[in-house]
Amino acid sequence: MKRLLFMAGLMLFLPLVASAQDTPKAEVFGGYSYLRVDGQGGPGENLNGWNGSVVGNLNKWLGIKADFSGNYGNQTILGLKLHDSVHSYTFGPQISFRKSEKVTPFVHALFGGAHFRSSFLGVTVTDNAFAMFLGGGVDFKVSKSFAIRVVQADYNLDRVNGSSLNNFRFSTGVVFRLGSK
C-alpha cells in the first residue's frame, strides 16, 4: 500500500517538475517603444517607435540578449521644424525569474551604442554615443510558444561628446518562445 501511494504521489509530482522546466532556448521580442529623451538644458522630447530583441537562454535564469530600437519624433524650436531619430543597439545579460508557469519577470543590463539624427531645413546632423539600458519587465505566457510583454521599462544613459543624457524607455509587444531547454 505504501509503495502504491508513493508511486501515485510521484506520478502527480512529475508533471509539476516538467512544467517548471519550461524554459525556451530563445526568445524573440518585437513591439512598440516610447523613449523620453533628456533635453540637456532645453526641452526634452517624446519619441515613438519600435523595439526588438533576441535572447539566447543559457539556462533557466540566465540569457544573453541583443536589443535594437528605433524611435522617431518631430519638434519645433525657434520656429524650425526638426525631425529626430535615435537608433540603439545594445547587448548584455538578462536574468529571468521563472517561478510561475504564466508570469516571467526579468532584469537586464545592456551596453552598446546609439545613433542620433536630426534634420531641419534640408540639413542633417548626426552623432554616435555610448548607450546603456538598465531595467526589466514582465512577460505573460499565453502558450508554449507565445507570450505578451506586458511591460519593459529601462533607464537609458547615452554619453554624447562628454555629456550624459538620462532617458527613459517603455516597451510592450509580443514574445515568440522558440524551442525548450
Round to whole Å and give the CA distance between 115 and 118. Answer: 10
Round to whole Å and give the CA distance between 53 and 176. Answer: 11
Average pLDDT on 8-34 reads: 70
User: What are the DSSP calls for 45-80, one per residue?
Assistant: EEEEEEEEEEEEESSSSEEEEEEEEEEEEEEEETTE
pLDDT at 181 over 70: yes
Architecture of the domain defined by 28-178: Beta Barrel (2.40)
Backbone angles phi, psi at 53, to 5 degrees: -155, 160
User: Residue 42: pLDDT band by 50, 70, 90 thresholds?
Assistant: low
Average pLDDT on 154-173 reads: 93
Give residue for cell 543590463: 109
Indicate if the alpha-carbon torsion angle 71, 166, 67, 51 is positive or negative: negative
pLDDT in tens, 122-150: 899 999 999 999 999 999 999 999 999 99
Share of the chain above pLDDT 90, in %: 72
Indicate if the alpha-carbon torsion angle 60, 139, 67, 164 is positive or negative: negative
Higher pLDDT, 128 or 162: 128
Average pLDDT on 40-47 reads: 79
Distances (CA, A) of 179 to 7, 52, 109, 137, 146: 30, 19, 24, 22, 11
Instruction: Provide the residue ranges of all domains of the chain, joining segments of one domain with +.
Output: 28-178
Q: What is the pTM of this model?
A: 0.83
User: Residue 68: pLDDT band by 50, 70, 90 thresholds?
Assistant: very high
For residue 3, the model assigns a pLDDT of: 59
